[in-house]
Structure 1
Amino acid sequence: MGIYVFDIDGTISKGGLKVEAELCQSLARLQQQHQLIFASARPVRDMLPMLSDELHTATFIGCNGGMAYQAGEIKTSHTLNPAFVKQVLQHLTALDIPYVLDGEWSFSFSSRTHPFHEYIRSLSSEEISEQALMEEGVTKILMLSDAHKASVLALVEAENVSVHTHRSDGFYDITPQGNNKHRALSELIGSEKYTAFGNDQNDFIMLSHAEVAVFIGEEKDFPHATHYIEMEAIPELLMQLESNATA
């Protein structure tokens, strides 16, 4: 049995839409013989609606490594320092930057509205007040604008946090120090080999450590992959990889 790891947005999903039925079927067939792990910048709450129900039994890494979900329950979760969160939010509010706060399962929005807020509401009904979420614990702060980004990064550079930039939309997020998909993956599978599919900067470390790295995009954006393909070619490549493994 092999281990296959998939990013979601830009890798198996376009434009924030649910993963197409044909690709879900390919992944479900793969899951019959192999372990599937989905690793995303999204919290697990917003990963599950992207996939068909039969794939919900897979393992999930959310918030860029900030949480892991397996067998219907959260296995690990890392939260930011509350005093730091409060400082960042005051700074974002003063700069009029829209944001999203994620907890283990709940979310909260800035008073400054953004279309992405409605997208999240379309996926989940777990919205609570900012104060309630801060009391629960914040796993990720997602900035929905790169305006004043240098100012925000200057504020956080002395803190024990990780910053992840989303190449496709210009958003960026803050999680606890050391959070990344590969670290969370290592906590789950140790030193076992795996095949990884990704498309963005937050996938680079995970892809670099993969036995087989599949990049959805061009070599100029990530020069260390085994395969470079478009999303539509994933089912065909999966059949090829399985055929090679059994040859």
Structure 2
Amino acid sequence: MTGKQFSSVWLREPRKATSPGRSREEIVSAALELLDSEGLSGLSMRKLGAKLDAGATSLYWYVANKDELLELAYDEVFGEMIVPAPETVGWRDAASAVAYSMRQVILRHPWTADLIGRLAALGPNALRVTDQMRRSFSLAGFEGIEIDYANATLTAYVFGMTIPEVAWNNSVAQGQIDESSLRESVERLVADYPDLRERVTASAYQDPQAVRAMCFDFGLVSVLDGLEARLVR
């Protein structure tokens, strides 16, 4: 079976604006506002046209479809990530900075969690982040395909920790979960497990956001320690 032929907005030169004040940058900025406020389901060419006071048809001068618009918005988000030069700060600090920044960017733009693994990140900002991360692991001493393995390990950790956090935040924001009643229920259900009961009722767990941040920090240091240990061997 032959799959659908790959296409991307990045495979052609951007078209010039057709009217004063209307540009691809303006369209992407408006799309980001819609995505941040309403999520993926809230973005449509019709809504975007109305927001820009332009017909949806005119937007197709810049993008062939909604997927291309998402590509542009997705790459704009990658541009917010901090990517220090590993040659200046060292490979571990560079990798850490990217990981922390990547988590914050995903939390700030929760709709991106639904695009990870579904939409190819091939824009200039995404490629810059990827290149800097590969340079970090190359500087550390990894070689060949292991540079890609190390890179994939770090990004998988960030995604694995952050995507469930986004899902939880969305559920709370949409009123699907009441945190106080959930806590009471969990405390009752773990009553026969003293260690679990102690952890659930610990004062540290009264601030879930702080716990998630500390958990992310613990795991990130552990991942980097493990990668460094492989180099020592």
TM-score w.r.t. the length of structure 1 is: 0.26
Kindly name which structure, 1 or 2, has the bigger radius of gyration based on alpha carbons.
2
More helix by share: 2
More strand by share: 1
